[in-house]
Amino acid sequence: MHIGKILTICLVSAFASISGANAENTKGIDTPLKIESDTSKSITKTTMQFDGNVSIKVGNTEIKTDKAKVVSNKKKVTIYIDGMVVTVNK
Quote the longest CA-to-CA distance of the chain.
38
Task: Label residue 5 by pLDDT band (50, 70, 90).
Answer: very low
Name the average pLDDT for the chain.
74
Residues 35-75 have pLDDT tens digits of: 999 999 999 999 999 999 999 998 888 999 999 999 999 88
pLDDT above 80 (res 14): no
Higher pLDDT, 29 or 32: 32
Task: Label residue 32 by pLDDT band (50, 70, 90).
Answer: confident
Instruction: Give the domain ranges of the chain.
Output: 5-89
Q: Where are the beta strands (DSSP E) in 1-90?
A: 5-9, 33-37, 39-42, 47-58, 61-72, 76-81, 84-89
Sequence-ordered list of residues with C-beta below 8 angstroms from that of 9, at least 6 positions apart, any chain = 15, 16, 23, 32, 33, 34, 35, 70, 72, 77
